Amino acid sequence: MRKRVWRLLGLLAVLTLLAGVCTAGAQEKTRIKFWTFHSNYEKEFMISLGQEYMKVNPNVEIVYENIPESEYMGAKLTTAFAANSGPDVFVISPGDFLKYANSGLALDLTPYFTDKIRADFLKSSLDAVTVKGKIYAIPFEVELLGLYYNKDMLAKANVAPPKTWQELIGATKKLKTDQVAGLVIEPQRGYYQNFTWYPFLWQGGGTVINVQTKKSAFKGRAVENALKLWADLIKAGAPSKLAKGTWEPFIGDGSAAMQICGTWIIARLEKDFADKNIGLVPLPTPPGGKAATDAGGWKFMVNGKSKNADAAAKFAMWALAENVNLPLKWCTEVKFAYSPRKSVVQAGAAIYGKGLRKVFTDQIYETAIGEPRYPAEIVGFVGDALQEVMFKNVAPRQAAQKADQKIKQFLKDFKGSM
Amino acid sequence: MKLESFTKKVSHEFPQNHIQSRFLTRPKVQENLFAYLMLAPDLIGLAVFIFLPIVIAFYVSLHDWNALEPMQFVGLKNYWTLSGDLDWWVSLRTTALYSLMFVPLVYGISLLLAVFIHSIPGKFQEFIRTVNFMPFSVSTVVAGIIWMFMFEEQRGMVNGAIKLLGLPAQTFLGDPDQALICIALVSAWMVIGYYTVLFLAALKDIPVSYYEAARLDGANVLTIFKNITLPLLKETSTFVLIVTTIASFQVFDQIKIMTNGGPADATNVSVFYIYRQCFEYMKLGYASALAFVLFMIIFALSLAQLKLMRSGNTDSKI
């Protein structure tokens, strides 16, 4: 009798254990670590992406982590991947894209891009994330640069919005006061400075690397003139150091009369500085030059070494390549940027003609050139040349030659794709 | 009582074999074991967080590694590369320049402040000591951001004060000739309170009778400072000089926040250069080699400093 009781109890224990395991298996969710660096409205939007996805995919848990921008762009991602604790989905700038694509860490997203999805994306946007025929990231915004100006300040100083480089230098000088900067440009070395300077290089026909030959092209009049322009702007009084990042709306808080900045600040200007009389014109051009602006924008990348890579890819594709409402909200409400997807642009057609956006749509969009995705070393060489001309009074030709030599030397040993 | 005479006395009173036999007794072993047990958390901490990372850094320095792909052994290649890396040597020169500004500034001001505060009688001394210590409790990030705003060319408070004096506004952090000086000043501002406290503690140990005797002999303030205060603070001075020199070679946070190495690499000190190689170019092996060399430089400098101070320290025994 006692034996039977023990057997029965044993059987019950086994059954309970099995039931527990089965229940746990059924309830276990696929956890996806999702990292970005955004703040304010942008952060809220990123959180909402995960929340919306979990509503339609209850078996997936999106764990969003927000990292301060300086840390994110600095040590955080590198150390996380080095320690095998990197995110499954993360945002990446064009400047960092190649590092991850060439290393094999980025998941090949080509199989997820159906013909329909491919057709929806602008070809140039997909080309920017394609290496050797494989797609390694999902572009979700196209951000353009323009010259913002405070209409009242310019009118008071009797200055017309600059159209040429000479007018820009003259206006910078004339508009500078004890409390107000005539013009804000990015003075600090880095990806962002290069991003905002490239249009001036392109306007004169210059470039950093010849796309066909994959050789250095960082020499000649166009390079020297563009370098000299930024040195002249600093000499004319553009601040050589600012406590805030120059992607912030200086033009809105009244600390600058003109600012070279991107599409993204329009939403901030409308929300926080609606009372300010702000104007916008295309970036000024050199004599005989052609209008050009930079088309930048962050991308979503998926960690190919993650055990949940497939689920992570599905989440990223759902949020940015299949869904229309969320990307539209990002590009038109949270901030202003152009979508790299035709369906999203179509859905928000009315918004692209609203306020300052109309200037971007009518006068600047057509002149956009995609932000180059050079290796970090090349970005550094170009940045060094700019800094030397701006702050060390090095002759533009000399700085360009030095950078050109360094680029050539680097490309000799460089084995990755570009 | 001097150490030698004490040792002799002990040896005389307790013969060697007696000491040895006592040492081997069970309670003594237990006592030693207990002592090691008490020290164990610190020793483990040192091993895990100090020595192990140094060994790992050396191991990584023998490899090519971008953190995303497996390491590749390259032997001493990274060390060979750094010997010809002009930018690295320039960053070391910038670090040395910073050190030459920061160390004397911290040492001089904290010593003078300590002497000044020490001379203040009563409760007011405590107040001044607290106020002086406050910047040390501010985090580097917060201090960096605050001073970045203070140093702004157009709306910064420092230029506001300069303009009030009728002097022209300065670009400070935006000027390659001024940026490193500004960083040294901010760094010094942050730590002076701490070193002042160290000097104050040492000053309190100097017997008042020495000062009284010197005054009776007709010595003035400067003579007293030179012949009594300074020599008797030699051990604290050695400590402060070594620690501030090490700190000056490790400066990073302020630079990352305030100038990001610029303008035109004017504040690109060695640690920042290492950071750039590591996290901008993802050359973790090369960055580790640079870090290891920097460690050796700091180690050698500290040893030299210690030896130098000790060689002139013979008279300080009381």
Would the pLDDT of B19 be above 50?
Answer: no
- Chain A residues with CB under 8 Å of B171 CB are 240-241
Task: Give the DSSP H or E segment for A209.
Answer: strand A209-210
User: Two tokens at A412?
Assistant: 């000799």
Asked whether B144 and B61 are in contact (CB, 8 A), the reply is no
Smallest CA–CA distance, residue A224 to chain B, in Å, is: 17
Residues B77 and B103 in one domain: no
Q: Show which residues on chain B lie within 8 Å of chain A, measured between beta carbons.
A: 66-69, 145, 148-149, 151-155, 163, 169, 171-176, 256, 259-266, 275-276, 278-282, 284
CB-based contact B264 A392, cutoff 8 Å: yes
Out of B67, B175, B278, whose CB is closest to A81? B67
Which of A70, A104, A180 lies at the smallest CB-CB distance from B69?
A104
Q: Is the pLDDT of residue A187 over 90?
A: yes
Residues B146, B99: one domain? yes
3-state secondary structure of A402: helix
ipTM of the complex: 0.85
Residues of chain A positioned with their CB less than 8 A from the CB of B260: 188-190
What is the per-residue pLDDT for A102?
86
Are B263 and A387 in contact (CB < 8 Å)? yes
Judge if pTM exceeds 0.90.
no
Percent over 90 (pLDDT), chain B: 73
Provide CB contacts within 8 A for B102, sequence distance 6+. B184, B187, B188, B244, B247, B248, B251
Of A82, A179, A241, the CB nearest to B263: A241
Is residue B209 included in any domain, yes or no?
yes
Asked whether the beta carbons of residue A241 and residue B152 sit closer than 8 angstroms, the reply is: yes
How many separate domains does chain B show?
A: 2
B264/B122 same-domain check:
yes
pLDDT band for position A15 (cuts 50, 70, 90)? low
Work out the angle between the directed axes of helices A396-413 and A221-235 (0-180°, nearest 10).
Answer: 130
B60 and B162 both lie in a single domain = no
- Give the domains, in start order, of chain A with CATH numbers: 30-142+297-322 (3.40.190.10), 143-295+372-412 (3.40.190.10)
- Pick from B263, B280, B284: which is nearest to A391 by CB? B263
Q: What are phi and psi of B175, to 5 degrees?
A: -115, 125
B189 and B103 in a common domain? yes
Give the DSSP letter string of B129-152: HHHHHGGGGS-HHHHHHHHHHHT-
Q: Is residue B41 part of a domain?
A: no
CA separation for the pair A368, B46 (Å, rounded): 56
Coil/strand/helix, residue A52:
helix
Taking CB atoms and an 8 Å cutoff, what residues of chain A touch B148? Answer: 243
Alpha carbons B219 and B201: distance in angstroms, whole number:
24
Q: What domain range is B297 assigned to?
A: 55-84+283-309
Q: Which of B68, B262, B279 shows the shortest C-beta gap to A75?
A: B279
* Average confidence (pLDDT) over A354-374: 91
Quick one: closest CA in A to B159, which residue?
A: A178
Is residue B76 domain-shared with residue B167, that is, in the same domain?
Answer: no
State CA A149 to chain mean position distance: 23
Q: Test B275 with A82 for CB contact under 8 angstroms.
A: no
Specify whether B130 is located in the same domain as B263: yes
What value does the mean pLDDT of chain B take? 88
Asked whether the predicted pLDDT for residue A290 surpasses 50, the reply is: yes
Regarding whether B247 and B109 lie in a shared domain, the answer is yes
d(CA A285, CA A288): 8
- In this structure, the answer to whether residues B256 and B119 fall within a common structural domain is yes
What mean pLDDT comes out for the span B240-252? 94
In a domain, B167, yes or no: yes
Which pLDDT band holds residue A124 (cuts at 50, 70, 90)? confident
Residue B49 in any domain: the answer is: no
Do B202 and B292 lie in one domain? The reply is no
| Cα gap B150→A90, rounded to integer Å | 35
Chain A residues within 8 A of B152 when measuring between CB atoms: 239, 241-243
The helix, strand and coil proportions of chain B, stated in percent and rounded to the nearest 5, come to 75, 0, 20
With respect to residue B142, please indicate whether it lies within any of the assigned structural domains. Answer: yes
Q: Is residue B130 part of a domain?
A: yes
Q: Is residue B247 part of a domain?
A: yes
Instruction: Tell whether B101 and B73 lie within a shared domain.
Output: no
CATH at B214: 1.10.3720.10
Give the model confidence (pLDDT) of A248-270 as tens digits: 999 999 999 999 999 999 988 99
Given an 8 Å threshold on Cβ–Cβ distance, is B280 in contact with A390?
no
Number of helices followed by number of strands (H, E) in chain B: 17, 2
Residue B6 has pLDDT above 80, yes or no: no
The packing angle between helices B157-164 and B140-150, to 10°, is 40
Domain membership flag for residue B296: yes
Contact B67 A75 (CB under 8 A): no
Same domain, B66 and B142: no
